Chain A
Amino acid sequence: MGYVKEERPTTISVEGTWNIGSYHYKGSKLMEEYVKGLKQKKLIGSFCPGCGKVIVPPRNLCGRCHRIMDRRKIVSNRGTITCFIVTPPMEKGKLKVLGMDPVETGLIKEGEVVIPVFVKFDGSDSNTDTILLNVDPKAVHIGMRVKVLWAKEPQGALSDFEGVEPV
């Protein structure tokens, strides 16, 4: 910041930064419950006693009923694809999944495609976003049955849930 970077006919261009520093967001304890469940290979959702809907990952409020969703429900780790997209072939540095480059970590090979999907797990009423792995991209379709692909050694972290794969 502080110098004329480029001369133009009627305006000047001045460089400025927008680095306002770090925030301290207040998070809900619900995410802790959720990742503790992942460590045991369980998907925990929040259950609304008002309308009976189950949301995965859990959230605290039901907007329909305008009330706290104060109950939990473990849902199946099997579900149905409700929609999907297929990316162009992957390169290093193109995508970050859970803060990591899936090409660098070896989850996806360079040149392979990634298939982000919404999954409705059996017993839930929500779209859970994740990636579909171990599949021929041409075979993917809405309604496809999938199951959770768990990390080999779950750590109690969001990365324990690596994605889904066909049943």
Chain B
Amino acid sequence: MIRRVAIVGYAQSHHQHNMQKTREDMVFEVCKEALHHAGILREELDTVITASTDFLDGRTISSVFLSMAVGAFLKDESKVEEDGTFALYYALMRILAGTHDVALVEAHTQGSTFNPHQVTFYTLDPLFDRQIGVLNDIAAAALQARMYMNRYSVSEEHLAMAAVKNITNAAENPCAHRKMPDVSVEEVMSSKVFYDPIRELMMSPISDGACALILASEERAKEITDKPVWIEGVGSCQDAYLRDRNIQNLDSLQMAARTAYKMAGVKEPFSELDVAEVSEKFAHEELMIYEALGLCQEGQGKNLIERGTTRRDGEMPVNPSGGALGADPVCATGLIRVIEAAKQIRGEAGGYQVPDVRRALAHGQFGICAQKNAIFILGGNGS
């Protein structure tokens, strides 16, 4: 990269089903807290990038009323639709361009305002898929799960094991929404079926939540903190629309990861990464993500979950925070993964801290069957 850029502060809300806060107050609190965490003032921000969707916010150009809450009053500001990792990407590019030095990145969704699953129906092709009327994100995920499971002999138990790992991890995370410390494989497998094989506890919960992080150029980062978390690699990739795509693999995630690994000089992700925080909206996606990230061979994701390799105390911990199954304030979910990865590097993850994290991966996704993916490789300890 032409400049080094670091994460120097962050904050997230206590994600929950129906937060008793307005969208503006929720966003204000995380932005204020992120500035406080970095130890800087709003006046030191050069640019502010936010992420949400107009559909889920229930208004068009939905950032206009939030400019004050995010600290963008009379400042450079822009918004991306979809996941917060894409807002982070945008902010990173602004700093790399040399025109800005300090950015605040914010993302949020209040799922209680409007059912996110209902919104996904409107991402479908209006000429065919919407007229047929059988698809939505959960139905598509179920089709994807079945294809993947058939191809690689993955059982429903494997999916339930991934759910149990993340949901029990979430119990240690004060910001997570779904906390079930004693949840069992049997309980997951007997939870309500939405579309076979997708059951309630294999799906991310509908959450209200927000997060914000502060990004700074190398010079400013070193002034702001002794513990900068450097962005060592990034990659983003978009797959084809559902109908024209192989949904049993996450090809766009694999390509995004390869780009990020190359930039960060990661050759053996399994041994070189200390922790990964990924956006698994459904339990089967977690196994598919292991494979796309190169943590195992194609079709071997089930082995990692069977052996406990990705548990918090395993060889390659994935989602010690509980991941998206622990809380899913849609547009914030990927950016929360970045914050969780940064927390691990800075040793600020409390009860779910993984020891000696020097390099971490964070993943954000958007679209039906994870059509679009972004990867960030983060490093600490002056690496």
Using Cβ atoms and an 8 Å threshold, which residues of chain A touch B223? none
- Give the CA-CA distance A149 to B235 in the complex, in Å: 60
Q: Does residue B112 face the partner (Cβ distance < 8 Å to A)?
A: yes
Q: How many chain-A residues does the 8 Å CB contact rule pick out? A: 20
Q: Judge whether A60 is part of the interface by a CB distance below 8 angstroms.
A: yes
In the assembled complex, the CB of A151 is this many whole angstroms from the nearest CB of chain B, namely 28
Is the Cβ of B113 less than 8 Å from the Cβ of A1?
A: no
Is A64 an interface residue when CB atoms closer than 8 A count as contact? Answer: yes
Interface-facing stretch out of A21-29, A76-84, A122-130: A21-29
Q: How many residues of B contact A (CB 8 A)?
A: 32
Within 8 A of A (CB), among B73-120: 73-74, 110, 112-114, 118-119
The answer to whether B25 touches A28 (Cβ under 8 A) is yes
Contacts of A64 in B (CB 8 A): 73-74
Answer whether residue A38 sits at the interface, using C-beta atoms and an 8 A cutoff: no
Within 8 Å of chain A (Cβ to Cβ): is B130?
Answer: yes
A62 at the interface (CB under 8 A from B): yes
Q: Is the interface of A mostly helix, strand, loop or mixed?
A: loop
The reply to whether A20 and B122 contact each other, CB–CB distance below 8 Å, is yes
Report Cα–Cα, A162/B35, bound state, in Å: 42
> In the assembled complex, which residues on chain A have CB atoms less than 8 Å from the CB atom of B55?
20
Task: Identify the 9 closest CB pairs spanning chains A and B, nearest first.
Answer: A63-B68, A63-B73, A23-B58, A66-B42, A26-B22, A16-B126, A61-B68, A23-B114, A28-B22
11 A–B contacts from the bound complex (CB under 8 Å): A1-B130, A16-B126, A20-B114, A20-B119, A23-B58, A60-B25, A63-B68, A63-B72, A64-B73, A66-B71, A68-B28
The chain A residues found within 8 Å of chain B, CB to CB, are: 1-2, 14, 16, 18, 20-21, 23-28, 60-64, 66, 68
Contact A60/B118 with A16-B126, A26-B110 known, Cβ cut-off 8 Å: no
**Inter-chain contacts of A62 with B (CB < 8 A):** 68
Tell me whether A25 and B113 are in contact (CB under 8 A). Answer: yes
